[in-house]
Amino acid sequence: MNTHNRLLAAVAWLALLAIAPALASAAEDAPKDGVLRGDAACTRCHDEESDFPVFAIGKTRHGVTADGRTPTCTDCHGPSDTHMNIPEGAKGRPSPTRLFGAASMTPIVERNGACLTCHNDGARIHWQTGPHAAADLACTSCHQVHTGHDKVRDKATQTEVCVTCHKEVRPQIARTSHHPILEGLMSCSDCHNPHGTAGEKMLVRDNVNDTCYSCHMEKRGPFVRTHQPVQENCAICHNPHGTTLPNMLKHRAPFLCQECHEPTSHRGNMGNTAVTGFGTNQNTVARGCLNCHTNIHGTNNPRDISNERTFRR
Amino acid sequence: MNGKHNVLNIRFALLSAGLFAVTKSVIAAEAPEVDVTGSENPAVTALTEPDSEIEIGLGYISEDNFHYGQYRGLTDEGVYGLVNIDVAKRDDSTGTWLTLDGRDLGLDSRSLEFEHERQGNWGYFLDYAQLPRANPFTHNTGLEGIGSADLTISGVELRDTELELERKRLTLGGRKWFGEAFSVELTARDEAKEGARMFGRGTGGAMEFLADPIDQHIRQIEARVNYSGQKLALSGGYYGTDFDNEDTALNITGGAPELANGTGAFTPIALPPDNQSQQLYLEGNYRFTPTLTSNFKAAYSEATQDDAFILPAAPGNTNLDGKIETTLLQVGLTARPLPKLTLLANYRYDDRDDQTPVLDYFLVTTGSTTTGENEPRSIKTETGKLEASYYLPAGFRITAGFDDERKTRNTSPVRVVSYRRETDEQTYRVALRRSISETITGELTYAHSDRGGSDFETNTVVGGATGSNLIAPIHLADRTRDKTRLLVDWTPTEPLSFQFVANFADDDYDAARTTTDIGVRTGEYEFYSLDASYTFSESWEATLWLSTGSNQLEQGVCVGASSAGVCFNSTSSPTWAAQLGSDEESVGFSLHGKFGEKLSLGADVQYSSMLDEFEQVAITPNVVAPVIPDIETRSTTATLFGRYDLNERSSIRVDLAYDLYRTDDWTWSTFTYRDGTHVFNDPHDDVYFLGVSYAYRWQ
């Protein structure tokens, strides 16, 4: 190093020493993170007074910075460079790289990709081939991320979210015979996994019957005398979303039974509410056909002395 | 409230208080070691820390009812305790959560969940829930022993009896993470179901009221190991279940001679047998490339039933030795070969193989429609799906798909119901969606399905004669189905939005196996719904919705067909048709908002009207079919609430609910059991609920 260079280096060091306190002070005055790692750049604008407040994410699992897996703002919303540093000549502030609201123009596959980066396992393992993914549903169509109370994850309020699309179910769950969904004791996700499953109708178990058995295991059998549709699919006779008939039956007896049974013997009888006494004409009052065929889901009685095989004993 | 319930409620309140105390002590023991940035500012802390609240009050039900309180545990007139607890505490330095969520703790529909978790490391929970169900009928009966497996029909004085069921469910679970990739989960549940359910026995000469005793346990355990990597996610596990019924036979003493006497007496009656199942599974997804992913599942299950028979069986065995093995294989692929094109393929194989030994359980005579053997049911289902979606200009997306479902079933050579071994349903569908728009989104979908299958087996009776071969059962019959759905979501201005849905479905069955047009013929379904939502301000929002729907089904039957399946089409054995209809109209209104900073108000009203029609039409000339009256049911449920914040931490809440239920259901009105039992279905339910509670909040 020659003399000239040594002088320059000395001047540079002196200058650095002179401005060091100012730099340190500036670092102390720099905005601090409010909730998430590195969120200071965002929360300086997105405080509670802004149109898009974000602090409430601190109440959620996403706001737990001690869990190293939790995201930063830009992990979900993208780098958003032009949103934070408005380019010269821009009309207004450009949007963040990824937006999730109803009016977002971010492609849904990209929005969901931000969530699937972490939430790709467990109950969501079948999302990619599920009907909701195929129907262009965004995760944020159902979930609210920036709130301590995500309605769709609360049993008492989940149904309000589901019926915004599945409107035909809304009056069904209010029918006389229903599962306790309106009462908040059951929710759609007790039977369905909206993130997709390997089974039919996004049911939580592999098929309709296995899902029903998780609460109605007494119907599983196998029995000595089995009722074929019971073994195949509970929904052949029942509508689990609700009906106006006891036990959520789709139709009343004898009409329901006549949809399958040959009309020999008494099975083709018309319904009649005016008959008296006891006989096969009492097929639509009281329990209808079940007045006699009481064990309709199957019986484990090995005898057949009085036609027990027809689920009478 | 009766005394038993009061004792249980007090016990439960004590348990809740204990858990609450535990929660508080654990919170104290886990004081934060390091202060975090946000907590330095109290205003930010208030916005970012989890909230806790306890709510205590009293509620009053104006009269006995079955509709409003059926599942809520509010069927009896009287005063009830209202207790809700929602505690959420978090140690920010370690990411440790402690939550206690108790709802309706003063009612029989209570639930309480305790959870302790170090996020991303370990966690466990304990969940208790009760689910009551009051039978909507009153039974005026002399039946003795209700609730037990030993019933007596002795003609004692009739009295009003109400049947109830209650489930009490306890779930324990835990999860441990090993790094970011691995975790293990364990969940175990025991659900006790107790009470009594409407039952009965009958033959041509007598029908008697019985009550089915319910004293059952449903137990489930599931253990999973999860892996989540950059490209591969896997979950493998075990799922075991056990059904345990304390009562497997119902013994009846007394009753009508036709049912109570002789070797053919209808006692004992078999109740559901104990049974078990076990499953091993592996499921996951794999990302080949950013635009090509797959998912899959493989599972093997074994369900068994070897509960002792209630009576000796003719073959000499003491139980069914039932066993069903089920194999599930599923694989799906999604690909995006072009930015605008998405392809999807899915295949599923579900083989339910019933390996229960086939034995001759009883002797049969020539002409019988059963062989005396048990009938194992094996069903193999294969489903395939192909779908392609392409983005068009202006935010439109078009999707075309093809689905195929093929079912193969076994059958017995002698049957009472028509049967085919295979059904095959193919569906072609197309959908046009507009997913991304600031004002209008929506979709229009159309699907056409065609179900056919192998030839129906010819029903024969014992001895080889041809049986009745008239009807193709509804789930096996040839069918074409056309379904259309329209959904429009329109936001003309920022605060106002509309949503319109229309669904249509037409089914055309080829249910008749012979020239006689009997069996299910057609089905029609229509549904329309309109929602309007208006946001008056940041604080006030209103929603109004209307829906109307209709379901129609037509089927043909004949009275007294011969054992060989001949419909006589005579005045004594006419051919007839049933036209079943169900029309439904519903209206809902919701208004929620705040007056100032302290007063929150909300109102929700839902009205439903349902009309069920059962028209029977004689096809045979000179026959008049009996008229079955329509059944009309109307219900209105209105809830109002007001919450006034006394200060930042406490508030007073008032809830008012009104439930009106009307029906002209005649199902039980003309029927009296042989033992004199009469069942009443209260056609009017008119009940108010008033609740007042105090809530305290903290962080």
Q: How many CB pairs under 8 A join A and B?
A: 435
Contact A232 B438 (CB under 8 A): no
How far, in Å, CA of A55 to CA of A243, rounded?
44
Of A190, A293, A197, residue with least CA distance to A240: A190
Model confidence at B262, pLDDT cuts 50, 70, 90, reads confident
Of B598, B578, B584, residue with least CA distance to B653: B598
Enumerate the residues of chain B whose CB falls inside 8 A of the CB of residue A105: 436
pLDDT for A275 equals 84
Across B536-683, the runs of DSSP E, i.e. the strands, are: 541-558, 575-595, 599-618, 628-645, 650-663, 678-681
- Closest chain B CA to residue A63: B48
B499 three-class SS: strand
How far, in Å, CA of A160 to CA of A155, rounded?
10
How far, in Å, CA of B202 to CA of B259, rounded?
7
Residues of chain A with pLDDT under 70: 1-31
Model confidence at B382, pLDDT cuts 50, 70, 90, reads very high
| pLDDT (tens digit per residue) in B324-381 | 999 999 999 999 999 999 999 999 999 999 999 999 998 888 888 888 899 999 999 9
Q: Nearest C-alpha of chain A: how many angstroms from B320?
A: 6
Contact B501 A108 (CB under 8 A): no
How far, in Å, CA of B243 to CA of B271, rounded?
13
How far, in Å, CA of B566 to CA of B559, rounded?
10
Contact B562 A264 (CB under 8 A): yes
Q: Say if residue B31's pLDDT is above 50.
A: no
Which member of A164, A291, A304 has the closest CB to residue B362? A304
pLDDT for A8 equals 57
- B interface test, pick of A73, A160, A259, A310 with most B CB neighbours within 10 Å: A259
Q: Tally the C-alpha atoms within 13 A of residue B644's C-alpha that lie toward its C-beta.
A: 4
- A interface test, pick of B226, B235, B416 with most A CB neighbours within 10 Å: B416
Model confidence at B510, pLDDT cuts 50, 70, 90, reads confident
Which member of A270, A278, A282 has the closest CB to residue B576? A270
Cα–Cα distance list, B431 to A133, B240, B434, B502 (Å)? 14, 40, 10, 14
Enumerate the residues of chain B whose CB falls inside 8 A of the CB of residue A171: 547, 549, 584, 586, 608
Contact B397 A299 (CB under 8 A): no
Q: What is the DSSP letter of A277?
A: S
Of B564, B558, B528, B531, residue with least CA distance to B545: B531
pLDDT for B2 equals 44
pLDDT for B36 equals 41
A287 three-class SS: coil
pLDDT for A28 equals 55
Which member of B38, B119, B344 has the closest CB to residue A34? B38
How far, in Å, CA of B224 to CA of B240, rounded?
12
| pLDDT (tens digit per residue) in B88-111 | 999 999 999 999 999 999 999 999
Of B577, B439, B589, residue with least CA distance to B518: B577
> H or E element: which one contains B24?
helix B3-29
* HEC profile of A19-60: HHHHHHHHHHHCCCCCCCCCCHHHHCCCCCCCCCCCHHHHHC
Enumerate the residues of chain A whose CB falls inside 8 A of the CB of residue B565: 262, 264
Cα–Cα distance list, A78 to A67, A75, A95, A98, B350 (Å)? 21, 6, 11, 6, 42
Enumerate the residues of chain B whose CB falls inside 8 A of the CB of residue A278: 202-207, 674
- B interface test, pick of A160, A231, A260, A282 with most B CB neighbours within 10 Å: A260
Which member of A35, A136, A170 has the closest CB to residue B397? A136
pLDDT for A51 equals 84
Average pLDDT score over chain B: 92
Which member of A121, A297, A312 has the closest CB to residue B266? A312
Contact A300 B309 (CB under 8 A): yes
How far, in Å, CA of B356 to CA of B354, rounded?
6
Model confidence at B445, pLDDT cuts 50, 70, 90, reads very high
Enumerate the residues of chain B whose CB falls inside 8 A of the CB of residue A262: 416-418, 459, 467-471, 561, 565
Contact A128 B285 (CB under 8 A): yes
A251 token code pair: 């139709």
Which member of B48, B356, B582 has the closest CB to residue A35? B48
B368 token code pair: 């019988």
Enumerate the H helices of chain A as residue ranges. Answer: 3-29, 40-43, 73-77, 81-84, 108-116, 131-134, 139-142, 158-162, 169-172, 208-213, 228-232, 255-258
Contact A58 B48 (CB under 8 A): yes
Contact B670 A273 (CB under 8 A): yes
- Closest chain B CA to residue A102: B438
Enumerate the residues of chain B whose CB falls inside 8 A of the CB of residue A55: 44, 47-48
Q: Say if residue B511's pLDDT is above 90.
A: no
| pLDDT (tens digit per residue) in B587-605 | 999 999 999 999 999 999 9
Enumerate the residues of chain B whose CB falls inside 8 A of the CB of residue A146: none
Enumerate the residues of chain A whose CB falls inside 8 A of the CB of residue B37: 32-34
How far, in Å, CA of B458 to CA of B468, rounded?
8
Enumerate the residues of chain A whose CB falls inside 8 A of the CB of residue B348: 198-199
Contact B203 A292 (CB under 8 A): yes
Phi and psi angles of residue A267, each rounded to the nearest 5 degrees, phi first: -70, -20
Calculate what percentage of chain B has a pLDDT beyond 90: 82
Enumerate the residues of chain B whose CB falls inside 8 A of the CB of residue A156: 103
| pLDDT (tens digit per residue) in B207-224 | 999 999 999 999 999 999
Q: Are B673 and B685 in contact (CB under 8 A)?
A: no
Contact A65 B36 (CB under 8 A): yes
| pLDDT (tens digit per residue) in B109-153 | 999 999 999 999 999 999 999 999 999 899 999 999 999 999 999
Calculate what percentage of chain B has a pLDDT beyond 70: 93
Q: Are B406 and B381 in contact (CB under 8 A)?
A: yes
B649 token code pair: 């931490």
How far, in Å, CA of B84 to CA of B72, rounded?
14
Q: Are strands B150-153 and B249-254 parallel, antiparallel or unpaired?
A: parallel
Enumerate the residues of chain A whose CB falls inside 8 A of the CB of residue B518: 263
Enumerate the residues of chain B whose CB falls inside 8 A of the CB of residue A222: 275, 303, 305, 320, 322-324, 354, 356, 376-377
Q: In chain A, count of helices (H) and strands (E)?
A: 12, 2
Q: Nearest C-alpha of chain A: how many angstroms from B339?
A: 10
Which member of B70, B294, B362 has the closest CB to residue A303? B362
Q: What is the DSSP letter of B460?
A: B
pTM: 0.91
Enumerate the residues of chain A whose CB falls inside 8 A of the CB of residue B113: none
Q: Nearest C-alpha of chain B: how many angstroms from A64?
A: 6
Contact B356 A67 (CB under 8 A): no
pLDDT for B619 equals 94
Q: Are B466 and B460 in contact (CB under 8 A)?
A: yes
Q: Nearest C-alpha of chain A: how many angstroms from B350?
A: 9
| pLDDT (tens digit per residue) in B635-665 | 999 999 999 999 999 999 999 999 999 999 9
Q: Say if residue B154's pLDDT is above 90.
A: no
Q: Say if residue B37's pLDDT is above 70.
A: no
Phi and psi angles of residue A18, each rounded to the nearest 5 degrees, phi first: -65, -40
Cα–Cα distance list, B386 to A129, A187, B284, B398, B415 (Å)? 11, 31, 20, 14, 37
pLDDT for B517 equals 78
Contact A304 B361 (CB under 8 A): yes
- B interface test, pick of A57, A106, A218 with most B CB neighbours within 10 Å: A218
Contact A290 B200 (CB under 8 A): yes
ipTM rounded to 2 decimals: 0.93
Which member of A168, A229, A269 has the closest CB to residue B475? A229
Contact A258 B273 (CB under 8 A): no
> H or E element: which one contains B331?
strand B322-338
Enumerate the residues of chain A whose CB falls inside 8 A of the CB of residue B561: 262-264, 268
Contact A226 B375 (CB under 8 A): yes
